[in-house]
Chains A and B, each alone.
Chain A
Amino acid sequence: MNAPTGSIASYNFAYLDEQTKRMIRRAILKAIAIPGYQVPFASREMPMPYGWGTGGVQVTAAIIGPDDVLKVIDQGADDTTNAVSIRAFFQKVANVAVTTRTDEATIIQTRHRIPEQPLRAGQTLVYQVPIPEPLRFLEPRETETRLMHALEEYGLMHVKLYEDIATHGRIATTYAYPVKVEGRYVMDPSPTPKFDNPKMHMSPALQLFGAGREKRIYALPPFTQVESLDFDDHPFTVQTFDKPCALCGAEGVYLDEVILDDCGGHMFVCSDTDHCESRQGDGYHGQQEETFR
């Protein structure tokens, strides 16, 4: 990215060449047609290391247009390194408008979180996925996992949940919690906390998942049934928090622990920074706000 200032003439719009975008769009269309099915695609080298969101960036690059407004979050926050870098990348190579406001964005690229504010029709959520195969750690052979998906042999997924209960007394999987899509494919919702699983169910927004290293794209079209796997006597539940957000006082949202000093001082704040800031802007505040300032 050492192009002379003010000139990015050597790059095509949104970095990828048009043939590559076309190939990725075809994979995305197929993924939308078969919700939850992992479509292989010819993932490209991107100017960032694997694990930093190469899959998500390629999906975003393939769908973004000059009129789009992009928001990028990492762990719910707009101001972390990964989010800032990817946002700057698209500003540079696609010259698109960017925002941190969930309601203003048309494309939201995310690693881990789904924004607290409900998404609406017309918005697209792009996930950066490290390992798309939900059966991977149970069955190492790709040939076998593909066959298991094809034949709908998902008993093994419950073996994992069984192990959780046997070891911890409850289903201890808290992120990458497997879901069943439209009663057919079992899908790994990428490392989102299971707190966000219910938000995927019947969402009006389009959800696209890109795994760059593993070369897979999968999708949830709007209004798709997404059901978290569980046992009859150990039903699926999401995390709950004892206290509201220390900054904005929000309840029923996903909180991050923030260490304040080296004497054990800590507080829990919204993981979704945009949600927290707009609530504070609206005049809400939490209990620890004074001590924090």
Chain B
Amino acid sequence: MDKPLLRVTHLSKSYGPRIGCADVSFDLWPGEVLAVVGESGSGKTTMLNAVSTRLEPTSGTVSYRMRDGAWRDVFAMSEAERRFLMRTDWGFVHQNPADGLRMTVSAGANVGERLMAVGDRHYGNIRASAIDWLGRVEIAEDRIDDQPRAFSGGMRQRLQIARNLVTRPRLIFMDEPTGGLDVSVQARLLDLLRGLVSDMGLAAIVVTHDLAVARLLSHRMMVMKDGRVIEHGLTDRVLDDPRAPYTQLLVSSILQV
């Protein structure tokens, strides 16, 4: 815990004259969950995609501390290295599970894909890991040979999480992981995520427009508006004592029931 895991400096992405995100800088520490909140179109997803190398940024750098302790600029890596990093040490949970899953292969193969990609060639071991991970995300073992098409939205999202965590990554990116789920399913998923993150010492960047998700999951929080970070601090501090006018507006817009 003595050094950050990820360092983002002055990251900008523009689409022609339009700003996607501008001048974003932050450090992420091992085991830390950072929430990025803001309204639609505020540049949250663009920022997440640029940091996770799914988008080429216009300027700025992203450095990652590899398992051997060496800092690497992720955009200076070869494509092969970067893709290897993305499927071993990183994970990406999409808002729509269909984007992150292979919908036409079974749940077990979905979980096992990353293992096979890094060279596991023993069917029995792959299947045992798949069963283990389905159990951890509360999917019954007898659903292992079903395709995700036959799963509910919440199950698909949990399967996507299992698929990403099977190689024991150190950093996971999540784009609206609870979007489109009803509140009770959301609560279960959040509970599960909180457990996994703390058990595995996982660092995570969670993009969400739901402040309750940020409150439950994250240690720190970044508020974005018009592509820029307007407030950054500990989650409880930002939510209980918002400083920027926009953050105050955001916090006061939550419906109290």
Residues of A within 8 A of B114 (CB): 155
Residues of A within 8 A of B124 (CB): 233
Please tell me the number of chain B residues within 8 Å of chain A, measured between CB atoms. Answer: 23
A155 touches B123 (CB 8 A): no
Residue of A nearest to B145 (CB): A166
- Shortest C-beta distance, A189 to chain B (Å), equals 20
Within B12-70, the residues touching A (CB, 8 Å) are none
In the complex, B212 has a CB within 8 A of chain A:
no
1/0 contact string of B96-123 vs chain A (CB within 8 Å) = 0000001001101100111011110111
Within A183-203, the residues touching B (CB, 8 Å) are none
- From known contacts A153-B83, A231-B122, A233-B124, infer whether A163 and B117 are also in contact, taking CB-CB under 8 Å: no
- From known contacts A232-B122, A233-B123, infer whether A151 and B113 are also in contact, taking CB-CB under 8 Å: no
- Shortest C-beta distance, B56 to chain A (Å), equals 15
1/0 contact string of A162-175 vs chain B (CB within 8 Å) = 11011100000000
Residues of A within 8 A of B83 (CB): 151, 153
Residues of B within 8 A of A158 (CB): 116, 121
- From known contacts A151-B80, A166-B106, A167-B145, infer whether A156 and B113 are also in contact, taking CB-CB under 8 Å: yes
In the complex, A159 has a CB within 8 A of chain B:
yes
Query: Which residue of A156, A160, A166, A233 is within 8 Å of B117 (Cβ)?
Result: A156
In the complex, A234 has a CB within 8 A of chain B:
yes
- Shortest C-beta distance, B1 to chain A (Å), equals 33
Query: Which residue of A147, A151, A162, A167 is within 8 Å of B123 (Cβ)?
Result: A162
Within B116-134, the residues touching A (CB, 8 Å) are 116-119, 121-124, 126-127
1/0 contact string of A117-158 vs chain B (CB within 8 Å) = 000000000000000000000100000000100011101101
Residues of A within 8 A of B117 (CB): 153, 155-156
Q: Is the interface of B mostly helix, strand, loop or mixed?
A: helix
A159 touches B105 (CB 8 A): yes
- From known contacts A151-B79, A158-B116, A159-B112, infer whether A232 and B121 are also in contact, taking CB-CB under 8 Å: yes
A231 touches B121 (CB 8 A): yes
Residue of A nearest to B78 (CB): A151
Q: How far, in angstroms, from A35 to B230 measured CA to CA in the complex?
A: 56
- Shortest C-beta distance, A84 to chain B (Å), equals 39
Query: Which residue of B79, B80, B109, B121 is within 8 Å of A163 (Cβ)?
Result: B109
Q: How far, in angstroms, from A167 to B83 measured CA to CA in the complex?
A: 30
1/0 contact string of B140-155 vs chain A (CB within 8 Å) = 0000110000000000
B116 touches A159 (CB 8 A): yes
- From known contacts A151-B79, A153-B117, A166-B145, infer whether A159 and B123 are also in contact, taking CB-CB under 8 Å: no
Residues of A within 8 A of B145 (CB): 166-167
- From known contacts A151-B79, A151-B80, infer whether A163 and B106 are also in contact, taking CB-CB under 8 Å: yes
Residues of B within 8 A of A138 (CB): 102, 105
Residue of B nearest to A162 (CB): B109
A162 touches B112 (CB 8 A): yes
A159 touches B109 (CB 8 A): yes
Q: How far, in angstroms, from A231 to B127 measured CA to CA in the complex?
A: 12
- From known contacts A151-B79, A151-B80, A153-B117, infer whether A163 and B105 are also in contact, taking CB-CB under 8 Å: yes
Residue of B nearest to A229 (CB): B121
Residues of A within 8 A of B122 (CB): 231-233
Residue from the set A156, A163, A165, A234 with the largest chain B CB neighbour count within 10 Å: A163
Q: How far, in angstroms, from A162 to B107 measured CA to CA in the complex?
A: 11
Q: How far, in angstroms, from A274 to B116 measured CA to CA in the complex?
A: 42
- Shortest C-beta distance, A254 to chain B (Å), equals 27
Residues of A within 8 A of B108 (CB): 162, 166
Residue of A nearest to B108 (CB): A166
Q: Give 5 new A-B contacts, CB below 8 A, not counting A166-B108, A167-B145, A230-B121.
A: A147-B79, A151-B80, A159-B109, A162-B112, A163-B106
A-B contact pairs, 13 of them (CB 8 A): A147-B79, A151-B80, A155-B118, A156-B116, A158-B116, A159-B105, A159-B109, A159-B113, A162-B123, A166-B127, A231-B121, A231-B123, A232-B122
Ordered nearest first, which 5 A-B pairs have the shortest CB separation? Answer: A155-B117, A158-B116, A231-B123, A155-B116, A232-B122
